Structure 1
Amino acid sequence: MANLEDWIIEQGLRGSDLASLLSGFVERLTAEGVPLVRVYLALPTVNPTIRVYTHVWTRSAGTVVEGVSHERNADAFELSPFAYMMRTEQTGCYWRVDGPEAERFGVFKDVKREGGTDYLARLFSFENASAPDLRGIGISFSCSRPEGFRPEEVARIDGLLPLLGLAAYRITLFDLTVTMLDTYVGLSAGRRVLSGEIRRGIGTTITAALLFADLRGFTSLADTAGQDLIARLDHHLEAMADPVAEQGGEVLKFLGDGLLAAFPITEERSRESACAAAIRAAEAALERNDAVNRLHAGETPLSLDIALHCGDVFYGNIGAAGRLDFTVIGPAVNEASRMEALCNTLDCAVVLSDNVASVSPVPVRSLGRHRLRGIATERELFTFR
């Protein structure tokens, strides 16, 4: 087995997740004779839904990872050893969990349940001005020896922590990059960017079923409503976006009070399958949008208009040299937008093009032929029966 320092460096260079880093670190430290029973590692993160990720290794269960949401009770942290250390400006503390301070922190009960006798805690700061929310890591160690850690074991752990912190920081930054790309540009686009498709104009032509959705009446409501409207808009957009993801599509961009989504046609997914997925997503979005309106009974209801079309689009980097958008453009996108604009005129929540309607898994009816703005020839449009 390579020495522990070399192994940590290797993980810092090539490691992919913190759980594996922590598990491997504990395994190798235990092999050196340190009788660990519990190790805890926590890192604040930059994530729309998760405030911090906790990693707990125990001899009985291995490594368990939990994401703590922004909404969860922050008081639990205020009562923790790490909050105490931050308030008292200490980077290292040591407690006996069976001594006079055994009841000081609730986590000591967890340590004792695992057969631990002490709690060695360290705060390791990153202090990077470009990522201020990645403040550092909190890590603790507990052992099973009745007299607790020996001085040389504490020295060994402290000597390894800078390397461990650096490896954790690199892995966290990579995770942050992936998460931010997934969140702000989408899963497929994010992976394309990470694989090097970053030059302006670089992309590919794909065939996809397109879903163009928009809230009817939101613009006028926004002129009179207050800050609470933002929270309500998020619920409506979630009602549109979640069904897209559930049906294997991808939201390419949010357009104020609407969105554009694509269901690519591939060797694994036929045109019939992609169009059917878009139709199922549209049906679910309408149902969930109605549910959002019911939650806001007494307020102006916001109906949802959806256009479904299928065609070739350019999928790639578009924009200015210093500010790019990874999205789709092309006649099919424009046509879907024009179709959605007819929902109000035709008094239909959903308008389908003929190439989507022809493979629809649900009954449809013709709305007749209509001229779309900017389109030379009339198009026959359809809606759900």
Structure 2
Amino acid sequence: MDAAQATRIVEWVTGAGLAGMAETELMRGFCSRLVEAGLPVARANMGIDTLHPVLEGRIFRWVHDAEFEPISEYGRLVEGTQAEERWRRSPYFHLYQEDQEILRRRIGPDHPCDFAILDDLHREGQTDYVALMQRFSAQGAIGEMDCIFSSWTTAVPQGFSDGEIETLRRLVPSLALAMKCSSLTRIAETLVETYLGRDAGRRVLNGRIARGVTDRIQAVLWFSDLHGFTHIADTSAPDEIIPFLNDYSEAIISSIHEAGGDVLKLIGDGTLAIFKTKDQSLACRQALAAEEAMRRRIKELNRDRGARGLPTTEAYLGLHVGEVFYGNIGSRERLDFTVVGPAVNETSRIAALCHSVERSVLVSSAFQAAAQDEDRRAFVSVGRYALRGVKRPQELFTLESALED
């Protein structure tokens, strides 16, 4: 590879990174250009940690002239597991521990095999292996993401030449930088959607971050909480409380998301969510579908937790329809992207009444009126009730299915 070819590859990967190209396309384009320029790469891996509630990172793969899965994801390493043991025996771990930039191993019976991966590569016909690490400065690290690992192999009998290895050392940092940019975009999306909610997160990433900028919208409002949580928290072992909340939050939030809703806030054991579509009756249908899925999940969860001797509970749910302000609310230093307005307060008051009227779900007359005819037939009136902070008593309804609980 001559200097002009190397320059063109750097220019391409720089432009692709600035354009926001996905990691898989970056990897494919970079490796293909290496081969076209005469560098005999047969396969390549690039791994980078991330910030994600479940995943620890991703590995992007490229194999010359082969169809394969270009991405694999790995969870958090737990000490004492096989995954953690494999990591400690890997060339990447060696680079990280020794703070080295490069590790090279010739592959074959005439060469030492001090890493298990070399045996696998030998069986695949590879002859040379190079691992590289691009470490970030402390200011450039994001959580556990403080470096990028990559490995490069060839199947030509003589292996890589010294000049080809030097070319890799000069060119791979440009790919690593583009991959880091793409990964940071993914991390930003994950973080805002995880902590703000999917719709609110997308709005923030699209620039809706000015203080006081809100939209006036009509939405179906969901507020749920867990029955007897205070008693459970007081009587359970401290290390059981967070797993307890996580189990029931997973059941509730998954049900809301699958039905098309957006979770805006977790308030202790409470969940505030909205369903908003142009067709309000459809939003009501989505909320009812989420309620049904939540009950099913909690029933299965209670069966599992009960069999293990763990505390169980049920969810109380209030549903309402109303106008709210949706957007950035707070101080200059701390903003929240959420909904506010009298309708939000009414929804929480309705949910709070569930315990008093001994019903697991209560819906407002506004929700009942907005629902589709087919759905309205499933509602049963429980009478008129005064809601704290609301001027007039209103009729509340429950679901026929909830009467069986």
For the criterion TM > 0.5, the same-fold answer is yes
Q: 2:146 aligned to 135, 138, 143, which one?
A: 135
| Cα separation, partners in 2 of 1:246 and 1:122, compared to 1, 3 Å | same
Structure 1: how far apart are the matches of 2:86 and 2:153? 20
Q: 2:268 aligns with which of 253, 256, 274?
A: 256
Alpha-carbon contact 1:19-1:63 (below 8 Å) kept: no
After TM superposition, list the pairs within 5 Å mapping 1:274-289 onto structure 2. 274-289=283-298
Give the counterpart letter for 1:258 in structure 2.
G
Given the alignment, which residue of 183, 193, 207 partners 2:204? 193
User: 1:90 aligned to 2:100?
Assistant: yes
Alignment of 1:225-236 (within 5 A): 225=236, 226-236=238-248
Partner of 1:70: 76
Q: CA deviation at 1:371?
A: 1.0
1:14 corresponds in structure 2 to 19
State the SS of the aligned residue for 2:316: strand
1:1-35 deviation line (CA, Å, top 9, x unaligned)? 98101111112322232111111100111110122
TM-score for the superposition, normalised by structure 2: 0.89
Q: Percent identity?
A: 35
Structure 2 counterpart SS, 1:188: helix
Structure 1 residue runs of 5 or longer lacking an equivalent are none
Amino acid at match of 1:181: V
- Asked if the contact 1:15–1:21 (Cα under 8 Å) also holds between the matched residues in 2, the reply is no
In structure 2, list runs of 5 or more residues that go unmatched.
401-405
The amino acid of 1:277's aligned partner reads Q
Match in the other structure for 1:53: 58
Aligned to 1:373: 388
How far is the alpha carbon of 1:364 from its aligned partner? 1.6
Q: Which residues of 2 match residues 148-297 of structure 1 at below 5 A? A: 148-225=159-236, 226-266=238-278, 270-297=279-306
Whether contact under 8 Å (2:324, 2:342) holds in the other structure is: yes
CA displacement at 1:134 relative to structure 2: 1.4
| Amino acid aligned to 2:102 | G
Q: Say whether residues 1:383 and 2:398 are aligned partners.
A: yes
What displacement does 1:145 show?
A: 0.8
Could you tell me whether the CA contact under 8 Å between 1:279 and 1:308 is conserved in 2?
no
Assess, with a 3 A threshold, how the Cα gap between structure 1 residues 63 and 3 changes in structure 2: closer, same or farther: farther
Aligned equivalents of 1:300 and 1:155: distance in 2?
60
Q: What CA distance in whole angstroms lies between the structure 1 residues aligned with 2:138 and 2:330?
A: 30
Equivalent position SS for 2:59: strand
Separation (CA, whole Å) in 2 of partners of 1:333 and 1:221 = 27
Query: In the alignment, is the contact (CA less than 8 A) between 2:323 and 2:343 conserved in 1?
Result: yes
Identify which of 19, 30, 38 aligns with 2:35. 30
Q: For residues 131-165 of structure 1, give each alpha carbon's deviation from its aligned partner in whole angstroms, at most 9, with x where no partner exists.
A: 24211111010112111112221111111122222
Q: Does the aligned pair in 1 maintain the 2:385–2:395 contact within 8 Å? A: yes
Q: Is the 8 A contact 1:47 1:179 kept in 2?
A: yes
Specify the alignment match of 1:338 in structure 2: 349
TM-score by length of 1: 0.94
Answer whether contact 2:350 2:387 (CA < 8 A) is retained. yes
CA drift of 1:212 comes to 0.7
Q: CA offsets per residue over residues 338-380 of structure 1, 9 Å max, x none? A: 1001000110001011232342544121111111111111111
Write the deviation string for residues 304-358 of structure 1: whole angstroms up to 9, x where unpaired.
1001111211110011111000001112111110100100011000101123234
Deviations 1:186-205 (A, max 9, x none): 11111111111111110211
SS at match of 2:319: strand
Higher helix share: 2
Contact 1:45–1:133, Cα closer than 8 Å, also in 2: yes
Letter of the 2:383 counterpart: G
CA-based RMSD of the aligned residues comes to 1.9
Aligned mates of 2:69, 2:21 — CA distance in 1: 15
- CA 1:79/1:341 → structure 2, altered by over 3 Å: closer, same or farther? same
Residue from 317, 332, 351 that aligns with 2:362: 351
Moved more, 217-226 or 254-263: 217-226
Contact 2:51 2:143 in 1 (8 A): no
Cα distance between partner residues in 2 of 1:140 and 1:18: 16
Code of the residue aligned with 1:285 in structure 2: it is: M
Q: Quick one: distance in 1 between partners of 2:234 and 2:121?
A: 56
SS in 2 for 1:181: helix
| Alignment check: 8 A CA contact 1:23 1:63 kept | no
Between 299-308 and 178-187, report the one with greater CA deviation.
299-308
1:185–1:252 Cα contact (<8 Å) kept: yes
CA distance in 2, matches of 1:276, 1:342: 22
- Select between 12-21 and 36-45 the one with higher mean Cα deviation: 12-21
Report what 1:304 is aligned to.
315
What is the DSSP-based 3-state SS (H/G/I as helix, E as strand, rest coil) of the residue aligned with 1:302?
A: coil
Pair 1:101–1:239, CA change in 2 (3 A): farther
Aligned to 2:403: none
> What is the identity, as a one-letter code, of the residue corresponding to 1:12?
G
Amino acid at match of 1:241: I
Distance 2:146 2:45 in 1: 17
| CA gap 1:299/1:15 in 2 versus in 1, 3 angstroms | closer
**How many Å apart are 1:209 and its aligned residue?**
1.1
Offset of 1:300 from its aligned partner? 3.8
- 8 Å CA contact retained: 2:42, 2:153: yes
Structure 1 residues 102 and 19, CA gap change in structure 2 (3 angstroms): farther
